[in-house]
Structure 1
Amino acid sequence: MKVLFMTNVPSPYRLDFFNELGRYCELTVTFEGRKATDRDDRWVGEKSKSYKPVFLKGKRTNSDQFFCPSILKIIKKGFDHIIVSNYSSPTSLYAMAYMKLHHIPYWIEADGGMISKSENKVKFLLKKRLIGSASHWFSSGHITTQYFVHYGAKKSEIYEYPFTSLRKEDILPSVPTIEEKIAIRKKLGIRGGIR
């Protein structure tokens, strides 16, 4: 199965996710740019091991968003599934408009989303049109699912999946004692009380 996953910039937790996903399909990942301007250059992840990365050329429009018209050349190569994760970027908006116009189904994926209590009606309707235009949705949990439904997604077509950047070696075998917490805080130079 050929899958295209569109995202903005590489980040460690996303690259780990792509390496895992690429074990189960023929995965191509497009990146709008190589890095965000508001992140430290040392914040990098593992290299691609099980997917094909494609770095698009385009014009930066925000810290981590770009406009890359060349995304259409990638889409035209033909995929069984296309997943858009950064759906509000100019590149994604352009791609989704093209896919909608050419009746190419696509998924929207989010690993978070909060319903705005104070947005105006125009912004709500635009988001509803944008998010509701997909054929399927990937949600990282219950709150994101509520977000999708609020903005027009069909609940029956939302698939929740466990999205995490934790690895087995990141999980402590037991809760640290107060003494261990104090020692760790001293080592890291953290002041204040312990909870």
Structure 2
Amino acid sequence: MKVLFMANIPSPYRVDFFNELGKYCDLTVTFEGETATDRDKKWKAAEYKNFKAHFMKGFRTKSDQFLCVEIVKVIKSGFDRIIVGGYSTPTAMLGIEYMRLHKIPFLIEADGGLISQDNILKYFIKKHFISSASGWLSSGKMTTKYLVHYGADESRIYSYPFTSLREQDILKKAPSTDEKLRLRQKLKICM
């Protein structure tokens, strides 16, 4: 299955996710840009092993957002599934509008989101783009509430496990009470 995943920049934890996802499909990931201006240059993904990374050319509009009109050409090139990872960049909005107008089904993936007190215009803009999808991928209950608040159909929201933890980050066993106390004292954490 040919899958297109639209992303803004290749953050290391996202590239890890794409390398895993690419084991199960023919995955192409479009990136709007290579880096964000507010990130340390060392904060860069290691390698693109199990997917095709396609870096588009465009204009930076924010630290990690770009306008890349090339996204329309990429969408037209034909995919079995299209996933928009982040609906709020100019490139994503352009892609969503193109797919909506041409009745191309797509999913929106979200790994977070907090419902805020938006002004009416901002609320309707978010609702327009989020509700345009034919399905949604949610990383948890709060994200699902966020998506529903902005127009997603809860019956077409699919939860998926998303984490930035690696196996080596997970302790083999829980620390003892004495060890926790020693660490708290060392780190000067109040109890």
Give the letter for the 2:115 counterpart: I
Per-residue CA deviations over 1:168-191 (Å, capped at 9, x if unaligned) read: 2111123331365168x4xxxx5x
Q: In the TM superposition, what are the counterparts of 1:119-138 in structure 2 within 5 Å?
A: 119-138=118-137
What residue is the counterpart of 2:189 in the other structure?
193
Per-residue CA deviations over 1:126-181 (Å, capped at 9, x if unaligned) read: 21111101001000001000111111001111000000011221111233313651
Per-residue CA deviations over 1:56-107 (Å, capped at 9, x if unaligned) read: 0000000000000011111111001100112110001111111111111111
What residue is the counterpart of 1:50 in the other structure?
50
Query: Residue 61 of structure 1 aligns to a residue in which SS?
Result: strand
Query: Residue 129 of structure 1 aligns to a residue in which SS?
Result: helix
2: CA distance between counterparts of 1:178 and 1:146? Answer: 35
1: CA distance between counterparts of 2:95 and 2:2? Answer: 18
2: CA distance between counterparts of 1:38 and 1:25? Answer: 32
2: CA distance between counterparts of 1:148 and 1:182? Answer: 38
What residue is the counterpart of 2:11 in the other structure?
11
What residue is the counterpart of 1:81 in the other structure?
81
For these two proteins, the number of residue pairs brought into alignment is 188
Give the letter for the 2:183 counterpart: K
Q: In the TM superposition, what are the counterparts of 1:40-119 in structure 2 within 5 Å?
A: 40-116=40-116, 118-119=117-118
The answer to whether the Cα contact below 8 Å between 1:181 and 1:194 also exists between their aligned partners in 2 is: no
The answer to whether the Cα contact below 8 Å between 1:71 and 1:95 also exists between their aligned partners in 2 is: yes
The answer to whether the Cα contact below 8 Å between 1:5 and 1:30 also exists between their aligned partners in 2 is: yes
Change (3 A) 1:179 1:144: closer
What residue is the counterpart of 1:168 in the other structure?
167
What residue is the counterpart of 2:158 in the other structure?
159
Give the letter for the 2:39 counterpart: R
Tell me the percent identity. 57
Change (3 A) 1:180 1:7: same
Q: 2:183 is matched with which residue: 170, 181, 184?
A: 181
TM-score w.r.t. length of structure 2: 0.93
Once superposed, what is the RMSD of the aligned Cα atoms?
A: 1.4
Change (3 A) 1:125 1:33: same
Q: Structure 1 stretches (4+) deviating beyond 6 angstroms?
A: none
Structure 1 stretches lacking a partner, 5+ long: none
